Amino acid sequence: MHNKKILNIGIDLGTSRSVIVCDNGIRQAIPSFIGYPKDAVSQKLIGGDVVYGEDAIKNRLSVHLYRPFDKGVLLQDKSDKNGEEHIKASEIARSLLRKLIAYAFEEEEDKNLLIRGVIGAPALASLNNKKDFLEIADGVLDDVMIASEPFCVAYGMNILTNALIIDIGAGTTDLCRMHGTIPGADDQITTFKAGDYVDKNFLELIEKKYKEANFTVNMIKRFKEENASISEQGEKLFIELPINGKPTSCDVTSELREACRAIVPDIVEGIRKLVATFDPEFQNDLKQNVILAGGGSRIIGLHKEIENYMKKTLGYGKVTRVEDSLYAGANGALMLCKDMPDEYWDELKTRK
Ligand SMILES: Nc1ncnc2c1ncn2[C@@H]1O[C@H](COP(=O)(O)OP(=O)(O)OP(=O)(O)O)[C@@H](O)[C@H]1O
Ligand SMILES: [Mg+2]
């Protein structure tokens, strides 16, 4: 037993954004990017050995830029589980986690506090790569538990049963069925069609239409986040892209809609599977309570489109969206952290 004061934190380590929420009221979100200077000049420019988040993106020409996760797992050479690549990916992720934890303290870290955290990880990683996450947190957090992101979202909304959470992130879309207990492998489905997939599609469609245009995925991602919609109505959308160096207005209305739509079939198929394999007496309750979370849930018209598909394939469907898509996962992780009794954490330690 300890007699230190406890700082509870909830963390959402995402492919594109990492979020921390603490029970001292502090919360912060940063893009999941880390940059290391390429040479002495860039070191002077960034004023140190490492930059994080927006600063890393801003300085991307002068730093080696990394994202620690891809498609729901730690970036690594899969054939080389204990090799250099893996160690490097772990270090990058640990460094990002340290940066997040530093936000929890207004000044220097208080060594008298016991830092206890629940890390929400992509569903796939939380099932198969739990060890990687525990390794990352080792030495950064005193007590740690890994939970799947969609489960954290549900827990944070106090929705523990008869609900289907769909977390549409950057690397993965995670579907998770809630039925009153901690969800297991059978309750979760992961698809790789999420925000990054939309960006890739959008890029290819624009390249096809405007062959001369010169642009990066970053430029169109921002445009997507401001305009994403799959509704047929609405104004025409024009993006300004350089063609032979000259900014030119390009009509991308149908390209953006098509790119966003590309993630729908897999989501609907996932819903169908999770409903069809659920206890038949409760299937209707599940259809009644489908909740979209994650950055992708903000695509305008997406919840209606999924409802329409559900009506066609399952006879009925009611789909809503979480209000605060950025913080929903980390908020839930914090609640889970606070709700777990001391004995539970002690037991985790003895198992280690
Ligand atoms: N308004 C918006 N419309 C459409 N897409 C958006 C919007 N805002 C954010 N996104 C997209 O949502 C994705 C990020 O969502 P989120 O922050 O939930 O992902 P993540 O947790 O980092 O990723 P993952 O859960 O896959 O690890 C990005 O692809 C981003 O472009
Ligand atoms: Mg996420």
Domain definitions of the chain by residue range: 5-34+65-156+327-351, 35-64, 195-261
Tell me which H or E stretch contains 224: helix 217-227
Amino acid letter at 265?
Answer: P
Q: What are phi and psi of 261, to 5 degrees?
A: -65, -25
Radius of gyration of the chain (CA): 21
Q: With a cut of 70, which residues of the chain have pLDDT below it?
A: 1-2, 71-83, 108, 124, 126-128, 348-352
- Tokens matching residue 28: 């912060």
Report in angstroms the alpha-carbon separations of 158 from 21, 127, 187, 339. Answer: 17, 22, 18, 12
Verify whether ligand 1 is closer than 6 Å to residue 294 (CB atom).
yes
Task: Say how far apart CA 304 and CA 281 lie, in whole Å.
Answer: 25
* pLDDT value for 128: 66
Ligand 1 atom at minimal distance to the Cα of residue 32: 22
Q: Which CATH class is domain 5-34+65-156+327-351?
A: alpha beta
Verify whether ligand 1 is closer than 6 Å to residue 16 (CB atom).
yes
- State in Å: Cα 82 to ligand 2 middle: 26
Q: Which ligand is nearest to the CA of 152?
A: 2
What architecture does CATH give domain 195-261? 2-Layer Sandwich (3.30)
Amino acid letter at 317?
Answer: G
Please, which residues have CB within 8 angstroms of residue 108's CB and are 6 or more apart in sequence?
Answer: none
Tell me which of 225, 231, 291, 321 to substitute to probe ligand 1's pocket, judged by most ligand atoms within 8 Å of the beta carbon. Answer: 225
Verify whether ligand 1 is closer than 6 Å to residue 156 (CB atom).
no
Verify whether ligand 1 is closer than 6 Å to residue 342 (CB atom).
no
Residue owning the nearest CA to atom 1 of ligand 1: 225
Beta bridge partners of 173: 168, 191
Verify whether ligand 1 is closer than 6 Å to residue 171 (CB atom).
yes
Do 75 and 54 touch, CB atoms closer than 8 A?
no
Verify whether ligand 1 is closer than 6 Å to residue 73 (CB atom).
no
> How would you classify residue 234: left for phi > 0, otherwise alpha for psi between -120 and 50, otherwise beta?
left
Q: Is 189 exposed, middle or buried (0-12, 13-18, 19+ CB in 10 A)?
A: buried
Do 17 and 33 touch, CB atoms closer than 8 A?
no
Do 138 and 115 touch, CB atoms closer than 8 A?
no
Verify whether ligand 1 is closer than 6 Å to residue 297 (CB atom).
no
* pLDDT value for 135: 86
- State in Å: Cα 75 to ligand 1 middle: 18
- Tokens matching residue 241: 């892209």
Tell me which of 11, 13, 16 to substitute to probe ligand 1's pocket, judged by most ligand atoms within 8 Å of the beta carbon. Answer: 16
* pLDDT value for 231: 85
**Domain 5-34+65-156+327-351 matches domain 195-261 at the CATH topology level:** yes
Helix (H, G, I), strand (E, B) or coil at 274: helix
- Tokens matching residue 330: 């980390």
CA 201 to chain centre: 19
Do 311 and 323 touch, CB atoms closer than 8 A?
no
